[in-house]
Every structure is written in structure tokens, then in C-alpha cells.
Structure 1
Amino acid sequence: MNVGFIGIGSMGSLLIESFIASGALSPSEISISNRTFSKAQALADRYPGIRAEYTNAEAAMGCDIVFLCIKPHEFFHVVKDIKPIVRAEQIIVSITSPVLVSHLEGELNCKIAKVIPSITNQTWSGTSLCIYGDSIGETDKKRLESLFTHISEPLRIDENFTRIVSDLSSCGPAFMAFFLQQFVDAAVEETGIPREIALQVASNMLLGTGLLITEGRMSPTEVQERVAVPGGITAQALHMLRRETDGIFNQLIRTTHAKYNEDLIKVTTAFCGEEVNGQ
């Protein structure tokens, strides 16, 4: 299998390194391009066999699957770069949520998919969100998902839910890490506990809680009920948390959706020359 990556920023490089580490791909199966060629060459130097190409078209040419790991405003120009060389049997995969499958299907005569990865894929965990258009058949869907199975749990979703599922899967690690950091900072400030100890304990707690909910088949509500004895310390603290954070996650979701819709309008304007609201 030959796989191309256009854009090797944070998520592009994460996917490449995770696929190689997991054995899903060998470096000799990978070609890459980047706006700054020296960055592509540096990655190729770290993984002998990777082909660093000067142009996006060269990175995509001859590949079975091509990942577009770029920012929303870059898509229109990158699509123009690769359009002349794309073949009908190729699979082009966007990893950027505001770029709709229909945007790419309207420009490229090939099979189109959208897969939203997560930073958790670096540890071969978490979910990869898979969205497909009419241009791609079941065999190719399974082929793509088989690749992601090495580093995640692929999950097919409707494109209408791209943003909210991305909030949970892809943005979620940053949100949870934020609250964990706040917890650790407060512990250090209030008690003087060494930061490294507080972080170790809190990190192991977060890992164990995730395992309780996944492998232990406990719901978040059940975890709270099992820990919080009525009238006890945890119950009193949970009461405070519910009071102080009421509505905060609704505001968080509204914020991410507002930014998504802003980006979606810009991308649609670039591709179609007109603005839209929503999908």
C-alpha cells in the first residue's frame, strides 16, 4: 500500500508516526509534502524510506490513499494542486472537520472520505471518526478502517454530527487535560504537595476512571454513586461542582460550534463562491 500525506503538522506527523510504530505502514510506503519542505525532509530523515516530495501533486501521485492534513483555508489551493493527477481509484481523506465530503466530491474525481483522528491515537487508543460520501464503496471503507484499527477504534458517524463527536473525541483530551491541570495546580497551591506526586496520582486516577467506564462497563453516574457516600466528603464536593459548573459544557459546545460554522462558511465560499449557514 502506498499512502501520501499532504501536511505534516501536529496531526499529520502524529498519524505518520503512529502508523509506523504500530506496524500499520512501513516508511517505504509513505510519501509526504509540506508547505515548508525542510520540515518534510527532517521527518524523512528520521524515518529512512519516507519520500519527501517538493509538491503536493508529487506526494499524491501513485498513492492508494492520500491524507489531507491541512488547515481549512489551505484546502482549496491544495485541491487545485492535486486535481490534475488524482485517479478514480484513489481514496482522498480529509482530517479537517469543516471541510465537507461534498466539497471534495465536487472537485475531485475519486473516492472521498473524512476521518477525524485524536491525539489519543498516539498511544493506539481512542476513536477515529469515519465519514463517507457516495463516491466510496464498502470495500474501500473497510480498507481504510483496517488501517486505523492499528491505532484506534474506527467509528462511522453521520457528517451532521461531525462537530459534536469531534468535541468529545478530538477536543476532549485537551478539555480533560485542562481540568486535570486545574486540579493538580489547586492541590499544590492549597497543600504544598510536590507537583510531580500530585500529577502522578491524578493521571493514574484519570486512566483508571476511563477503564472503569470502558472495560468496567460503569456509567459516569455509577462511578459517582459508588464513590460518593451520602453526606460524605465526595458528595459535598460534587454538590459544589454541579452548582459552580452548571451550563459550562453547554457554553463549551456552543463555542466550538460557532467556530466550526465560521470555518465552514469560509471553506464553502472558497469552493462554491457562496456562503451557507450550517451544513
Structure 2
Amino acid sequence: MTVQNKNIGFIGAGKMGSALMQGIIKAGLVDPSSVGASDVYEPGLKALEEQLGIRVSTDNSVIVGDSDILLLAVKPQILGSVLAKLSAILTPEKLVISIAAGVPLSTYEDALPEGTRVVRVMPNIAATVSEAASGIAPGKNATDEDIDTALEIFSAVGTAVRVPESLMDAVTGLSGSGPAFIFPIIESMADGAVFEGLDRQSALSLAAQTVLGAAKMALETGMHPGELKDMVTSPGGTTIQGVHALEEAGVRAAFMNAVIRASERSKELGNK
């Protein structure tokens, strides 16, 4: 299965679901007419219909019936009730992809009809700007073609890698939650520049571009972050003073703990 000429249905049109819809349409992966979405919040659906030109309904069965690929974008806390209703209307030819944080593949495979092909994905909100980082884990019934389909969808909105399901909580803590760890860093760097006299807008623009540029260097050069850091830190210079301040504040440990705690919460959600 490839995405071309296939209908993709989203069950759930909240922030993450909407981000993915916008991302795959913006990337040109699908035509808006091949995308459908269902949600209980009708005003939000209407807004997406007007903004993106997709099909919408408050009835999940309508979207399920019209879709070849079903993407579950609902909160883990309500996923059980959604699966119970989907079980009665799903047919074997449909591929199910879920982005619910922390929910194991076994939950879907136990709740849905025997043989249902399921792929579990953990993307992030940067799908909106086609820069998501996504981990993909296939279920026991998923075929190589299903995996390729999921990789095609999520590679269209950023970077997607296949990982064992046992590591999906780590992916959730790292890239799923990660943007929220970086945004305060951008703001804080800008605050420092404002403290020194730079205007707010210029400070925010320079801080965000600095983060983007550093990330691009890490991705495109393939060099270790430590090597890249050393390229900037001249002996006795300005940068090493700043690095020293970060080390004094325990920034490395803080970021490690942020990822670890977010991963642990993902495990908790999956065990409920």
C-alpha cells in the first residue's frame, strides 16, 4: 500500500491530528479531498474543513467507511471507548495507525477484530511545519508494505524511524515531548539578549534561528554534538563562559531528567 490514491481518515482532530493533516497536505503527499476527519467538537471540524478543504463528520463510522488508512489521534484516556466502537465497523483491508502516547500495540490488537493491521507511531507537533520526529513500531499483523506506508506518511512531515515497540516510551519522552523542552530554551535565550539591550522580536528571531541552525549542523554534518560544541568554544572566549554557566546550572541533568520523566509518564499511560 502506498498513500497515493488512498483515503486517510483521522479519528480525532485535536492539536496533533490537525498538525498531521496540515503537514501531509502542505507536503503534497495527499490531496485534501482524500483526507477525512471526525471529532466531537464540531466548530473545530468546521474550521478544518474551511481551512484545509477536507471532509469532516462528527460520526466516526462515516470517516471509517470512507478511509483506506485510519489514523487514530485521540487521547489515551478515551482510546478504550473509541476502540470498542470501532471494533464493530472496522474491516480487514483497513490499516490502522495510532499516535496515542503510551498505548501498547496489544491494546489495539486485543480490542479490534482478529487480524487487524496496526502500526503505532509517536510523532510530534512539529508536523505542522513538516519537521516532525517520529518513531514507528509495527504490530504483529502489519506487513512490510504497511510499515512503508506509515514511514511514507510521517517522513512527509519530517523524519521517521522504525524502532522496537519496547523503545516507544523513550521516543515519546524524547521527540514526542521534546518540542516543549526546547521552546522555553528559545525564550530564555531571548530573555538574556533582552536583558543585554536587544529588542524582543530580534532576540526571539535570532534565538530560534540559532537553535534551528545548530540542529541542522548536527543532522547534516553527522558530527558528535561535543565536537560541534568544541568548534565554537575558543580558549578563554565568550562561549566557554556561557557553557560553564550552563554546567553550573545542571542543564544536562535537567534535560536528561525531562526526557526520563516524560518517558515514565508514557509508561504509566500505557498501563492504565
The one-letter code of the counterpart of 1:182 is S
Partner SS state of residue 247, structure 1: helix
Select which of 109, 115, 119 maps to 2:121: 115
- Determine if contact 2:57/2:63 at 8 Å carries over to the other structure: yes
Where does structure 2 lack aligned partners over 5 or more consecutive residues?
Answer: 1-5
Q: Which residue of 2 aligns with 1:275?
A: none
C-alpha separation between the residues in 2 aligned to 1:205 and 1:136?
40
The one-letter code of the counterpart of 1:242 is E
Partner SS state of residue 31, structure 1: strand
* Shift in Å, 1:106: 0.7
Which aligned segments of 4 or more residues in structure 1 are displaced greater than 6 angstroms? none
Q: Which residue of 2 aligns with 1:65?
A: 69
Select which of 154, 177, 188 maps to 1:148: 154
C-alpha separation between the residues in 1 aligned to 2:41 and 2:132?
30
Q: Deviations over 1:23-47 (max 9, x none)?
A: 1111211221101123213311323
The one-letter code of the counterpart of 2:128 is Q
- Determine if contact 2:102/2:172 at 8 Å carries over to the other structure: no
Select which of 55, 60, 66 maps to 2:59: 55
Q: Which residue of 2 aligns with 1:124?
A: 130
* Shift in Å, 1:56: 1.4
Q: Deviations over 1:236-277 (max 9, x none)?
A: 3212211211522332234213322332222xxxxxxxxxxx
Where does structure 1 lack aligned partners over 5 or more consecutive residues?
Answer: 267-279
* Shift in Å, 1:224: 1.2
* Shift in Å, 1:201: 1.6
Q: Does 1:32 align with 2:37?
A: yes
Partner SS state of residue 221, structure 2: coil
- Count of residue pairs the alignment pairs up: 264
Q: Deviations over 1:93-123 (max 9, x none)?
A: 1101211111001111211111111222222
C-alpha separation between the residues in 1 aligned to 2:242 and 2:85?
56
TM-score, normalised to structure 1, is 0.89
C-alpha separation between the residues in 2 aligned to 1:146 and 1:262?
30
Q: Does 1:85 align with 2:104?
A: no
Q: Deviations over 1:52-104 (max 9, x none)?
A: 12211221124111111111111011111211110112111110121111100
- Determine if contact 2:7/2:69 at 8 Å carries over to the other structure: yes
Q: Does 1:248 align with 2:254?
A: yes
Q: Which residue of 1 aligns with 2:197?
A: 192
1:9/1:206 Cα in 2 relative to 1: closer, same or farther (>3 Å)? same
Q: Does 1:159 align with 2:169?
A: no
* Shift in Å, 1:143: 2.1
Q: Does 1:106 align with 2:101?
A: no
Identity score, percent: 28
C-alpha separation between the residues in 2 aligned to 1:234 and 1:54?
54
C-alpha separation between the residues in 2 aligned to 1:27 and 1:100?
30
Q: Which residue of 2 aligns with 1:136?
A: 142
C-alpha separation between the residues in 1 aligned to 2:175 and 2:263?
15
The one-letter code of the counterpart of 1:158 is P
Bigger relative contact order (CA 8 A; separation at least 6): 2
Deviates more, 1:179-188 or 1:67-76: 179-188
Q: Deviations over 1:128-185 (max 9, x none)?
A: 2111111111112112222323222220011111122223222222211211111111
Select which of 248, 251, 265 maps to 1:259: 265
C-alpha separation between the residues in 2 aligned to 1:175 and 1:16?
24
Select which of 75, 80, 85 maps to 2:79: 75
The one-letter code of the counterpart of 2:86 is I
C-alpha separation between the residues in 2 aligned to 1:29 and 1:129?
24
TM-score, normalised to structure 2, is 0.91
The one-letter code of the counterpart of 1:56 is N
